């Protein structure tokens, strides 16, 4: 079943739905342009974009009629025509649209009641099709190759900037985009979970955290490993081993029926065996898919239930100011039989 068919099936005769969030439209249709919208009804649907994407839309859009607008016609002129043609009295819309967009739609499209939609797409997007999981797998493969490529630079005297730049080059050279600006955090900088690379040169006795991911064919990867520029101290080992223990246990805990809250709490309980949970301030993980931070959260305020087909990151961390930090992050696909860990880069403590 395609994502378009899945959404149509869940409309349940509720009428017309206008999807225009870029990531949602890409998820729904495979369209890779930056402007497009889908007006979907239970038995028909149109894809609307502007003239810049006319040729691309004909190539990429399957199962929907394509409508193109260009000067002097506006997006809302097309919606007006379609609403009249389909006899629509109501159109549901995504609540995330800007207020100014809502003003345009409600003033420019006549005779239609605009209704904020329930979040129909969230549960659908969280459960990936096998085609989507396949694409995430490919993105992970490339991220792991990049990690292997970057590790050779982890030696005293090399700056975080240079390593970060090399990661970006690697992805671009291999036909991918960067999923997010890579994190390369060494020594005391590794105590900042979202550090950006600086001109600091690596030194002996540093933890170095590398968090990277690419976008390949529209899908993301997101992996973190922490290394030690040797020799490692007892404190390095103690912190690392405890984060690893939490990470391994939480990956294994992603079984259907578990909750995002419980899996997150498990990480904190394990870190607390060594009084380290107080250094873990962020959530355990997030969904992964079309977006790096895709829908879904493993955290204290999560309302998510673990289900087959979901793909999660698991990324516990300990960040100790002026000492350094450790984060280990894998990508996990939930199957009916339990978790399948998609990333396979070695995660034992590596001294370089």
Q: What are the residues binding Zn ion (CB under 5 A)?
A: 211, 222, 224, 313, 329
φ/ψ of 283, rounded to 5, equals: -75, 165
Distance of CA 32 to the CA centre of its chain: 16
- Between 50 and 222, whose beta carbon lies closer to Zn ion? 222
- Between 53 and 240, whose beta carbon lies closer to Zn ion? 240
Name the token pair of 51. Answer: 């003239």
φ/ψ of 94, rounded to 5, equals: -75, 135
Specify burial of residue 234 (Cβ count, 10 A radius: 0-12, 13-18, 19+). exposed
- Between 4 and 318, whose beta carbon lies closer to Zn ion? 318
- Between 124 and 210, whose beta carbon lies closer to Zn ion? 210
- Between 211 and 304, whose beta carbon lies closer to Zn ion? 211
The two beta strands, 219-220 and 177-178, are unpaired
- Between 82 and 222, whose beta carbon lies closer to Zn ion? 222
What span, in angstroms and rounded, lies between the C-alpha atoms of 121 and 266? 29
Which of 56-64's residues contact partners 24+ apart within 8 Å by CB, and which partners? 56/31, 56/32, 57/31, 57/33, 60/29, 60/30, 60/31, 60/32, 61/29, 61/30, 61/31, 62/29, 62/30, 63/2, 63/4, 63/5, 64/4, 64/29, 64/38
Query: Closest separation between CB of residue 164 and Zn ion, Å?
Result: 14
What span, in angstroms and rounded, lies between the C-alpha atoms of 289 and 299? 18
Q: Cα 227–232–234 angle (5° rounding)? A: 125
Query: Cα separations (Å) of 80 from 22, 73, 209, 294?
Result: 21, 11, 52, 32
Query: Closest separation between CB of residue 331 and Zn ion, Å?
Result: 9
Q: Which residue has the tokens 């395609």?
A: 2
- Between 132 and 211, whose beta carbon lies closer to Zn ion? 211
Query: Closest separation between CB of residue 158 and Zn ion, Å?
Result: 21
Query: Closest separation between CB of residue 315 and Zn ion, Å?
Result: 5
Query: Closest separation between CB of residue 321 and Zn ion, Å?
Result: 21
Query: Closest separation between CB of residue 256 and Zn ion, Å?
Result: 22
Query: Closest separation between CB of residue 174 and Zn ion, Å?
Result: 19
């Amino acid at each position: 079943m395609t994502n378009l068919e899945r959404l149509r099936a869940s409309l349940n005769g509720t009428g017309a739905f206008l999807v225009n969030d870029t990531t949602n439209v890409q998820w729904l249709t495979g369209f890779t342009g930056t402007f497009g919208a889908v007006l979907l009804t239970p038995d028909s649907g149109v894809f609307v974009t502007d003239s810049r994407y006319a040729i691309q839309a004909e190539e990429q859009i399957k199962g929907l009629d394509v409508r193109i607008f260009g000067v002097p016609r506006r997006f809302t002129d097309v919606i007006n025509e379609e609403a009249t043609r389909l006899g629509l009295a109501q159109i549901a819309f995504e609540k995330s649209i800007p207020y100014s967009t809502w003003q345009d739609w409600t003033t420019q499209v006549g005779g239609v009641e605009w209704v904020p939609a329930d979040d129909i797409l969230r549960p659908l997007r969280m459960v990936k099709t096998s085609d989507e999981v396949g694409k995430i797998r490919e993105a992970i493969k490339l991220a792991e190759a990049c990690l292997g490529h970057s590790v050779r630079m982890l030696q005293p005297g090399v700056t975080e900037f240079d390593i970060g730049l090399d990661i970006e080059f690697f992805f671009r050279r291999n036909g991918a985009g960067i999923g997010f600006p890579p994190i390369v955090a060494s020594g005391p900088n590794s105590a900042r979970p979202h550090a950006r690379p600086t001109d600091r040169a690596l030194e002996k006795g540093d933890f170095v955290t590398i968090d990277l991911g690419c976008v390949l064919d529209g899908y993301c990867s997101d992996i973190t490993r922490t290394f030690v520029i040797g020799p490692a101290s007892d404190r390095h080992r103690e912190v690392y081993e405890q984060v690893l223990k939490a990470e391994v246990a939480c990956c294994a805990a992603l079984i259907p029926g578990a909750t995002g809250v419980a899996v997150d709490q498990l990480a904190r309980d394990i870190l607390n065996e060594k009084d380290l949970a107080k250094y873990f301030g962020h959530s355990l993980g997030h969904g992964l898919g079309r977006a790096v931070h895709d829908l879904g959260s493993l955290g204290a305020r999560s309302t998510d239930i673990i289900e087959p087909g979901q793909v999660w990151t698991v990324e516990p961390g300990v960040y100790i100011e002026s000492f350094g930090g450790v984060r280990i992050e894998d990508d996990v696909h939930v199957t009916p039989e339990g978790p399948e860990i998609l990333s396979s880069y070695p995660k034992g403590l590596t001294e370089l």
